[in-house]
Chain A
């Protein structure tokens, strides 16, 4: 007698196919965007006739003595007589704002995560986590408007700054977007540290804060590194906040109180009005390609670190990242 073997109905398989298609559409979209952006920039890299009035591809990165200037300089003034397409001021502006953002976001994000997972009572933790998640959901244009309309004036008065819109204010705005990323991933990393390690440390008479600093944090270090990398990727790709709060002046130099123009803001501000196919247009796509590669690489790096960490911890084989952690592992083994 045949037992009724359950055959999957045809519509189950159809829906499975459909879901697979949806899933792969995300991959297709990423590939399509990449190909599109690179294709527009490609002639710059292979065509010798491109950028002739700039002096070739290398001129995008090299200072030049333009008419009317006293010394060779990096100048981004794509509309002019002639237009000047040196991307170095934009790279400097991007790194300046991103660096400042991380200087604010790492202590706040990591410190906040340690507070939440190690110190805070449960009720406080739940409230704060909800607030942080809410903060991550605020649209960046709202954050940008808040910074532009309210925060910038306050910061200028507090520090007596010349420029109301500057790299520092933009970095504070960006920190609103980056801190939630760093905090949530760091907190996850701290949580995945095996309890035995912490208990062993406490059993050996270490204080809570000694355990946190000497055992939990070092053991979670790869996760924290991933949090920082992903936060950096978020900061470098964010557009609206910097467009509204940074002043968008393509200034060279690392003074945090001066204005800065980022790669993202430049693309957003200029692409709408530029002649398609012109050198200016292609350079904007080259900047887009650069951002694409950098954020893609950072995301992959962050993901890889997190995955590795998870796998190692699940196999209860703690990745020793520092001498302290190694000692902690050794003591844990002794204790068990």
Chain B
């Protein structure tokens, strides 16, 4: 008799646990992908949880490609991407049966800093590449008037900014061995602020006490100062959109999260992570995209 009671109680407990596990899965949104966006994603996850305590968002990095691959396998609800989604990847997502949605969620601008007294008028992307690959070593090589050697400051190789710079400015080649690695954007700015011969790169939002160098997309073209406008209209060459990618029309908690990211509160978190919030018209377009897909 006692054995039977224990069995029944055990079975009930098991059933309860299973049901809780299912509910847990429905209340958890997974977000994988871009390492650049991990901090932003975590800020979103935290703030979203404050408005919706019953839901939880699990954030993990690995890179934009990893996130999109996970989306194809169905092992994540959302992918974070700091680059465009390739047509090949969109086709692979369509092959799963749904229509993928790519939403722009923030704008990122990579700034190039020099000392405030550095008279360098501007740089084009090719000169910037020559400097950081070590092919140009003096300020006079890149249109400066200072005959001294350029001191290169960069980030540690664990940084997403390091990888973005390597990929988009250096054309996937290596940094010059002389590039000094510093542990964060704040450290880069601190170093450049005290070094008249120094140059560094990092997020736009962090720059204080240093001069932002206007960047030309190519030699002979007008140089563009990074700000919210040039970053958003795409005229600043080191600006990009950051994306959230969905494999199909979202439902439930995933839909709530994406809608919230495009809301005022969601966009308010963007600046804290060092990026620009979406301009209103882009935000309206992305919200419409989400509504139409219902």
- What residue of chain B has the Cβ atom nearest to residue A78's Cβ? B157
Q: Is the interface of B mostly helix, strand, loop or mixed?
A: loop
Q: List B residues 156-205 near A (Cβ within 8 Å).
A: 156-159, 162-163, 166-167, 172-175, 177-183, 191, 194-195, 197
Which of A89, A162, A249 has most B Cβ within 10 Å? A249
Q: Is the interface of A mostly helix, strand, loop or mixed?
A: loop
Whether B158 pairs with A274 at a CB distance below 8 angstroms is yes
A-side contacts of B191, CB under 8 Å: 164-165
B-side contacts of A66, CB under 8 Å: 174
When A163-B151, A164-B194 are in contact, do A247 and B157 touch as well, CB less than 8 Å?
A: no
B-side contacts of A249, CB under 8 Å: 177-181
| A251–B134 alpha-carbon span in the complex (Å) | 12
A-side contacts of B181, CB under 8 Å: 247-249, 261, 269
Q: Shortest CB–CB separation between residue A277 and chain B, in angstroms?
A: 13
| A57–B180 alpha-carbon span in the complex (Å) | 27
Whether B156 pairs with A75 at a CB distance below 8 angstroms is no
Whether B180 pairs with A75 at a CB distance below 8 angstroms is no
Q: Shortest CB–CB separation between residue B286 and chain A, in angstroms?
A: 30
Whether B178 pairs with A258 at a CB distance below 8 angstroms is yes
When A81-B166, A164-B195, A269-B183 are in contact, do A75 and B177 touch as well, CB less than 8 Å?
A: yes
Q: Shortest CB–CB separation between residue B186 and chain A, in angstroms?
A: 13
B148 within 8 A of A: yes
B149 within 8 A of A: yes
- What total of chain A residues lie within 8 Å of the partner, measured CB to CB? 32
A77 within 8 A of B: yes
| A79–B166 alpha-carbon span in the complex (Å) | 9
| A170–B167 alpha-carbon span in the complex (Å) | 31
Whether B197 pairs with A162 at a CB distance below 8 angstroms is yes
| A269–B166 alpha-carbon span in the complex (Å) | 18
For A77, give its contact among B157, B159, B167, B180 (CB under 8 Å). Answer: B157
Q: Shortest CB–CB separation between residue B39 and chain A, in angstroms?
A: 13
- What residue of chain A has the Cβ atom nearest to residue B177's Cβ? A251
Whether B158 pairs with A270 at a CB distance below 8 angstroms is yes
Q: How large is the interface on B (under 10, 10 to 19, 20 to 34, 35 or more residues)?
A: 20 to 34
| A143–B183 alpha-carbon span in the complex (Å) | 17
When A162-B151, A162-B197, A269-B183 are in contact, do A79 and B158 touch as well, CB less than 8 Å?
A: yes
B-side contacts of A68, CB under 8 Å: 133, 173-174
A80 within 8 A of B: yes
- What residue of chain B has the Cβ atom nearest to residue A89's Cβ? B177
A323 within 8 A of B: no
Whether B156 pairs with A269 at a CB distance below 8 angstroms is yes
When A68-B174, A75-B177, A162-B151 are in contact, do A269 and B158 touch as well, CB less than 8 Å?
A: yes
A180 within 8 A of B: no
Q: Shortest CB–CB separation between residue A45 and chain B, in angstroms?
A: 24
- What residue of chain A has the Cβ atom nearest to residue B162's Cβ? A79
B-side contacts of A252, CB under 8 Å: 177
A-side contacts of B194, CB under 8 Å: 153, 164
- What residue of chain B has the Cβ atom nearest to residue A259's Cβ? B180
B-side contacts of A71, CB under 8 Å: none
Q: Digitize A123-161: 1 where CB-to-B-CB distance is under 8 Å, 0 elsewhere.
A: 000000000000000000000000000000100000000
Q: Digitize A61-91: 1 where CB-to-B-CB distance is under 8 Å, 0 elsewhere.
A: 0000010110000010111110010000100
Whether B166 pairs with A273 at a CB distance below 8 angstroms is no
| A275–B172 alpha-carbon span in the complex (Å) | 20
A272 within 8 A of B: yes
When A164-B195, A249-B180 are in contact, do A81 and B151 touch as well, CB less than 8 Å?
A: no
Whether B183 pairs with A75 at a CB distance below 8 angstroms is no
Which of B149, B172, B177, B194 has most A Cβ within 10 Å? B177
In the complex, the 9 A-B pairs of residues with the closest C-beta atoms, listed nearest first: A273-B158, A79-B157, A247-B180, A81-B172, A248-B181, A68-B173, A77-B174, A249-B180, A269-B156
Given contacts A163-B151, A250-B177, A275-B62, list 10 more A-B pairs with CB under 8 A.
A66-B174, A68-B173, A68-B174, A77-B174, A79-B157, A80-B166, A164-B194, A249-B179, A258-B178, A259-B178
Interface residues of A (CB under 8 A from B): 66, 68-69, 75, 77-81, 84, 89, 153, 162-165, 243, 247-252, 258-259, 261, 269-270, 272-275
What are 17 A-B residue pairs whose CB atoms fall within 8 Å in the complex?
A79-B158, A79-B162, A79-B163, A79-B166, A81-B173, A153-B194, A164-B191, A247-B181, A248-B180, A249-B180, A251-B177, A258-B178, A270-B156, A270-B157, A270-B158, A272-B158, A274-B158
